[in-house]
Amino acid sequence: MTEAESEIVTHRRRKLDALRERGEAYPNGFRRRHLAKDLLANYGPASKQELGAQAIGAAVAGRVMLRRVMGKASFITLADPSGRIQCYLRQDDIGADAYEDFKDMWDIGDIAGVVGTLMKTNKGELTIQASEARLLAKALQPLPEKYHGLADQQLRYRQRYLDLVMNEQSRNVFRTRAAVVAALRRFFDARDFLEVETPMMHPVPGGATARPFVTRHNSLDTDLYLRVAPELYLKRLVVGGFERVYEMNRCFRNEGLSPRHNPEFTTIEFYQAFADYEDLMVLTEGLLRWLLTELEMEQTISFDGHEIDFGQPIPRRAMTVAVAEAIGVEEKDLKDAAKLRNIAGGLNIAIEDSWGSGRLLMEIFEARVEENLIQPTFITGYPAEVSPLSRRNDEDPSITDRFELFVAGREIANGFSELNDPDDQAARFRAQAALKNQGDLDAMHYDQDYVTALEYGMPPTAGEGIGIDRLVMLLTNCTTIRDVLLFPQLRSVPQSSPRQGSPRQESRS
RNA sequence: GGGUCGUUAGCUCAGUCGGUAGAGCAGCGGGCUUUUAACCCGUUGGUCCUGGGUUCGAGCCCCAGACGGCCCA
């Protein structure tokens, strides 16, 4: 803690001490009767004369954001969850003692309640002329600069509450996020999908090719893995007869941090029996359009300098077609492992000897095509080699009935007709296990319990996962995932927080 | 893991050629009864991220480290 800060805090502590002595430190009796937004909506259009004649009462509460003291009268700007409202405090209205109190004891950042009547200032701003003003919670720490807000990215993430207090844009991102989550629930609930919760701690990690976090269950004396995906559990439920299920919650992957990756992130996965991957592409396209409508957004959105149009039918392109076009080779050469190896080498893509043609094609796709898929595009025909849970295509068993949706160079969704042949699934797991034995840390484990579930019979099914964080990024024009996560993962600062000594937290669980 | 850029007052930011550290806001004192990023006068406040090094002298140059941004693996 620096001397300068402790000086500000010391001043504020003195005021708090005085409030404590008077027994007025943290009262909890004030009741808000109005939100700023409602007052502005209902009375903002009224004229100064109309309001002056009516004497409409109001009681608001919020954080003091701005303060303008002019001798024996002052204006303060209160922020509540709905917006901001100005209050006018006059010595003649609230009394000399209360007014002195306001001047001596209140600071920007304090939580206060104001009761009074509505008025319009000479400049036409709706204002509450106070008859009573109460300090409800003293802020000991000063707020960031009132005009620029909190700009330091690190502080914005580490002390998100300050970011939320100061930056309207940041608040709006998380409101949009909540609206997206709520809308998705409405969408699937309306289509008779059952929302379920499956384990986050898995005895065998599965459902995606990714490194898991490991944790320890003491009394079971066993390792458990934080889930990398809920997929295998959701399909067990389809076996059980819940033919339409969805789960929207956290997944965990033990990977590096980047503008697009956080170790914990949110997905919605949904499964629908008696549907295939083409049905899901239709559903996804409709879902996105419907979502934009629900959010009262245009079908064309701005993201990272691009205008992205969801109003058009989303094109579907086979991976081989997209790759062949991007790098200027014949499509037929993309089935041949030796030729793919040459192509990858020529493109300076790092490859491994164990990879077959499917993995090679996928790597070339990721290196040369993905980032250029700006407008919404379904890529289909994913190689079976990189799709261990997907149903093989009837015409070409080397590929699967799978798609991924790309927008602005980012994977947004991944869906496929589910592999419900237990013997093929067992073979795919064996191939993954072999890769794992060769040192591929991302490869899947053999999940015998899941194979057994398939042996009881899973109806033909299609399933899909959509990355909520990435979807919200698109809809809020955020290019880093940290901006759509309230508390993104950062390296912990050991000694003390950047601003002050570490706050003592009481657990409430 | 590698490269690169950044870290200066509580916050937002300047800081020249290496010559003893600045502004605005916030704070403190004073003035002001329709201001609005209020204004006017005065004023406090610095581990220049940390630790070494070079130098008569380092916010600035060199080395190492911490944290963060971006790019690559």
Instruction: Report the distance from CA of residue A153 to the C1' of nucleotide B47 in Å, as an integer.
Output: 23
Residue A494: pLDDT band (50, 70, 90) is low
8 A C-beta contact, residue A20 and residue A45: no
Residue A150 falls inside a structural domain: no
Q: For strand B, is any atom closer than 7 Å to the CB of A279?
A: no
Do residues A139 and A286 share a domain? no
What is the tens place of the pLDDT at every residue in A54-95? Answer: 999 999 999 999 999 999 999 999 999 999 999 999 999 999
Closest nucleotide (C1' vs CA) to A260 is B70
CA distance A155 to A158: 5
Do residues A125 and A198 share a domain? no
Instruction: Report the distance from CA of residue A259 to the C1' of nucleotide B70 in Å, as an integer.
Output: 9
Residue with tokens 């019979």: A457
Q: For strand B, is any atom closer than 7 Å to the CB of A2?
A: yes
The runs of H, that is alpha helices, within A393-502 are 422-437, 448-455, 468-476
As a dihedral over the C-alpha atoms of residue A383, residue A385, residue A390, residue A391, rounded to 10 degrees, the angle is 80
Residue A249 falls inside a structural domain: yes
Chain B positions within 7 A of any protein Cβ atom are 1, 9-13, 24-28, 31-39, 44-47, 66-73
Q: For strand B, is any atom closer than 7 Å to the CB of A211?
A: no
Handedness of CA A507, A197, A229, A291 (dihedral sign): negative
Do residues A136 and A187 share a domain? no
Write the burial class of residue A210 (CB in 10 Å: 0-12 exposed, 13-18 middle, 19+ buried).
middle
A507: which 2 tokens? 């657990």
Instruction: Report the distance from CA of residue A8 to the C1' of nucleotide B49 in Å, as an integer.
Output: 22
Q: For strand B, is any atom closer than 7 Å to the CB of A255?
A: no
Residue A323 falls inside a structural domain: no
Residue A509 pLDDT: 29
Do residues A476 and A427 share a domain? yes
Residue A392 DSSP code: B
Q: For strand B, is any atom closer than 7 Å to the CB of A170?
A: no
Complex ipTM more than 0.95, yes or no:
no
The CATH number linked to A264 is: 3.30.930.10
Residue A107 pLDDT: 97
Do residues A272 and A139 share a domain? no
DSSP run (H or E) holding A83? strand A83-90
Closest nucleotide (C1' vs CA) to A106 is B27
Strands A214-217 and A57-70 come out as: unpaired
What is the tens place of the pLDDT at every residue in A305-340? Answer: 999 999 999 999 999 999 999 999 999 999 999 999
8 A C-beta contact, residue A236 and residue A450: yes
Q: How many residues does chain A have?
A: 509
Among candidates A270, A216, A219, which has minimal Cα distance to A243? A270
Q: For strand B, is any atom closer than 7 Å to the CB of A493?
A: yes
Tally of structural domains, chain A: 2
Do residues A311 and A448 share a domain? yes
Q: For strand B, is any atom closer than 7 Å to the CB of A394?
A: no
Do residues A169 and A111 share a domain? no
Instruction: Report the distance from CA of residue A5 to the C1' of nucleotide B46 in Å, as an integer.
Output: 11
8 A C-beta contact, residue A353 and residue A344: no
A377: which 2 tokens? 């595009």
What is the tens place of the pLDDT at every residue in A5-34? Answer: 478 999 999 999 999 999 989 999 999 999
Write the burial class of residue A387 (CB in 10 Å: 0-12 exposed, 13-18 middle, 19+ buried).
buried
Residue A495 falls inside a structural domain: no
Do residues A124 and A224 share a domain? no
Domain boundary residue, one of A143, A178, A202: A143
* DSSP string over A475-489: HHT-SSGGGGSSS--
In chain A, positions 357-386 with C-beta closer than 7 Å to nucleic chain B are 367
Do residues A240 and A135 share a domain? no
Instruction: Report the distance from CA of residue A3 to the C1' of nucleotide B46 in Å, as an integer.
Output: 9
Do residues A307 and A251 share a domain? yes
Residues 6+ apart with CB under 8 A from A374: A306, A308, A407, A408, A409
Do residues A394 and A256 share a domain? yes
Residue A307 falls inside a structural domain: yes
Do residues A221 and A262 share a domain? yes
Helix/strand/coil for A490: coil
The CATH number linked to A60 is: 2.40.50.140
Residue A351: pLDDT band (50, 70, 90) is confident
Q: For strand B, is any atom closer than 7 Å to the CB of A477?
A: no
Write the burial class of residue A77 (CB in 10 Å: 0-12 exposed, 13-18 middle, 19+ buried).
buried
A13: which 2 tokens? 């502590």
Residue A256 pLDDT: 87
8 A C-beta contact, residue A361 and residue A336: no
Residue A357 falls inside a structural domain: no
| Domain housing A122 | 3-143
Residue A235 Cα to chain centre, angstroms: 25
Residue with tokens 């004891």: A105
